[in-house]
Amino acid sequence: MDIKEIKQIVDLMKRSDLTEFAVEEENFKLQIKRATDAQTQPQIVSYAPPAQVAAPSAPAAEAPAASAPAAKEDDSKFITSPMVGTFYSSPSPESPAYAKAGDVVKPDSVVCIIEAMKIMNEIQAEIGGTITEILVENGQPVEYGQKLFRLA
């Protein structure tokens, strides 16, 4: 990868409001991060601390209507996309899917591939649990922080 390609990536990040980009090749690794405002992070990260930050504002605005769905949402964990790209559930069209509904995954389990700039990136669960729902279709474009899998 040369400096011209890196500049193109930076320009793409500016135009599309991307906050993080990572690419790994044989002897080369590039990771670019941009500072984000405080409102963006709770939408991107789906772990307990952001949910605790978002919880006080939601019930205050709509306490009766939001209380039941919020309780169900708190039980679920999500595997989110670490990059922008195309989601693939298996390494090739003939191969079985890495993960299906009902599968138990560990933090180091590979659950899918995201193709970015013609590079296939294996995505690990990073959290453990049972997959209850796959939230994207095979071949669908995904955004950074987009929820891919729901776990119980």
The predicted structure's pLDDT at residue 63: 45
Tens-digit pLDDT profile for residues 73-92: 457 899 999 999 999 999 99
Q: For residue 115, what are the β-bridge partners?
A: 86, 120
pTM over 0.85: no
| Confidence check: pLDDT of 46 > 70 | no
The pLDDT score that the predictor gives to residue 69 is 52
- pLDDT above 80 for 110: yes
Whether the CB-CB separation of 140 and 118 falls below 8 Å is answered with: no
Confidence of residue 5 (pLDDT cuts 50, 70, 90): confident
| Alpha-carbon separation of residue 136 from 3, 86, 147 (angstroms) | 34, 10, 8
pLDDT tens digits for range 54-63: 444 444 444 4
The pLDDT value recorded for residue 36 is 59
Would you state the pLDDT for residue 60?
Answer: 45
Query: Where are the domains positioned within the chain?
Result: 1-35, 37-75, 76-152
What is the CATH number that goes with domain 76-152?
2.40.50.100
